[in-house]
Copies of this chain bind each other. A is one copy, B any other.
Amino acid sequence: MIPTITAFERSPDGGRGLARDMHVRWALEEVGQPYDVRLVSFDAMKQPAHVAISPFGNIPTYEEGDLALFESGAIVLHIAVRHPGLMPEDANAQARAIAWMFAAFSTMEQPILDRTTAVILERDAPWRDQRLPLVDDRIRKRLAELSRHLGDRDWLEGAFSAGDLVMVGVLRRLQRSGLLTEFPNLAAYVARGEARPAFKRAFEAQLAVAIAASSG
């Protein structure tokens, strides 16, 4: 059965692969699972048909037979435990990979999304220039901790896993901030993720949507 995911009809990032469907596309490409995409407009995301699947009106969703899922972390985990390629075989190592997934979306992404708020939603606020360095320091603290853990390893724990996939995806939000370059091993880690053939296929697929939208 071919699952169907949803993605922005017009992604606010213009095809930089920062919308959360990118996590799911990448996971599906890593495990070799074909998928269909249904594009949704900002208006349609708030309508009952979409909200019935995704209570917070977000993309991506994932539909497969009777299953309708939301939250990119849960969707990636669903894919990772049902296909070889994204989870270690050892049960304890699997639990650690899942811990990294929660760490990416909770501990690491929280201050990074705060930065997005500061830069976009509070762009014109009088406190923007004074507050942004505080937000950046909170991100630096987490990056330093992650950098220390990673050291000179290729991936967070042993082989590439769903934990790396979502962590790289979350760190990519920092590309224009300059913060990643302060931690060369993390910059190299993200580059390693982006160099994976599955990442490239997923990136091209979401970019094609953005190009079609901008010429439409």
Known: A55-B145, A102-B74. A134 touches B107 (CB 8 A): no
Interface of A is mostly: helix
Count of A residues near B, CB < 8 Å?
A: 47
Does A77 make an interface contact (CB < 8 A)? yes
Does A205 make an interface contact (CB < 8 A)? no
With most chain B CB atoms within 10 A of its CB, the pick from A75, A99, A148 is A99
Q: Can you report 30 residue pairs joining A to B where beta carbons are below 8 Å apart?
A: A51-B145, A51-B148, A55-B103, A55-B145, A55-B146, A56-B107, A56-B145, A56-B146, A66-B92, A67-B95, A69-B95, A70-B99, A73-B102, A74-B98, A74-B99, A74-B101, A75-B99, A77-B98, A77-B102, A102-B105, A105-B106, A106-B106, A106-B109, A110-B110, A114-B117, A117-B138, A122-B131, A125-B130, A127-B127, A127-B131
